[in-house]
Structure 1
Amino acid sequence: MNRCLILLTDPEPVPDLIRRLRSDDRGLGLKVAHSLGHLEKALAEAPPRVRLMAFCSGVVVPPALLKALPGPAYNLHPGPPEVRGLYPSVHAIYQGLPTFGTTLHEMAEGVDSGPIVAVDRFPMPAPAERWRLDRLSLASALAMVGRLAPQLADIDTPLPHLPDVQWSGPAHRRADFEALCQLPSRIDAAEFDRRYRAVGEGPEHALSIRIFGQRFVLDNQRDPAAASRAGRSRR
């Protein structure tokens, strides 16, 4: 193996990614990293001809590591160029955007700031809910990898930039996400519904509210007893 593509990603999409990348070039060595530590180890063991591609990963690659690579590293961002940073689906739904998509770009020191090489867009689903949008975004990202597999495998040739496509808007941080999760004490039904659809369910991103110095977290699991009572007709 004299050339290698390192994938920085979560474990779930790895089989699909490897299948799509190897469909056009079976001589390409592939390594997978799930954390910064894994990435550093993979790079230390990689041949000189190496390319790094992050796929929907939350790991921040240090600038010094990017500079040590022989060519550009790429990141597949699960959002369009106008929704930068963390949790793009959340912010797109909250902003009421009519379209969403995925963006492949060169990694740079700033978050989602490097030259863009590919964009895929699709209409926002109706209703716009986070779980649905995240599934569409993952499918879009995998399809983009499949289309660009030959170029990504050609690790000696940088992918051409899209000169007319630029990043816009703020780079959302974790603090921005947490602010959406924290419900104001006076909230109307429309704003609650907007945040609920954007933030979604789950222990890592549940809505919460602070009352009298106590924080209460939304538990939107249906109570069987309450559901049973609700289903009874009044007499």
Structure 2
Amino acid sequence: MTVRAASRVPQEERTRAMRARLMDATVELLVERGFSGTTTTLVSERAGVSRGAQLHHFPTKNDLVVAAVAHLTERRGEELAAAATRLPDGNQRTRAVIQMLGDHFAGPVFTAALELWVAARTDDTLLEAVAPLEQLVGRETHKMTVQLLGADESQPGVRELIQATLDLVRGLGLANTLGDDTPRRRRILDHWAATLDTALHTDGGKK
């Protein structure tokens, strides 16, 4: 390895670490202050990055937020994958899967994504970044839910049940942004898990 190559690696690592801090700070501020209250100045302060360094990589707020969209997509996938590894087997499996999804969509990562959805509605540049990544998240979350439930989508109505499940947890997550709705959410999801379990077994939708 040449001296130049050796010196470049630490710099590349520092740059990646700095960008990661900026992305995490952006997500945190989206949750705390919303899209309109998230500014490049606040992000740089929260990340512990100089304004000059932040502006070098992300000259505008939209540049920063568009990059955060991709970062947030990755965070959401990692969060769900990690939660999935802790799920039990046996007759409580369906309930555990549904509650896991409910907790994810009521969590801060989803709240940050929701702020971006609302902002993208009237911002074409942001929409261009958000829309395809949200479609990706939707497909991957649907696929994961099918796998975790062991559902057979070749059976009539099973795909619709999975989609209804995801629509339900998203809606409950939205309601949670107005105040802690945990007890009601858990009751609803317990009832839905029992309904879903019966439907998957009865209709031959479970492998």
Fold agreement, TM-score > 0.5: no
- The bucket for the TM-score relative to the shorter chain is under 0.3
TM-score relative to the length of structure 1: 0.21
More strand by share: 1
Greater relative contact order, per chain length (Cα 8 Å cut-off, separation 6+)? 2
More helix by share: 2
TM-score relative to the length of structure 2: 0.23
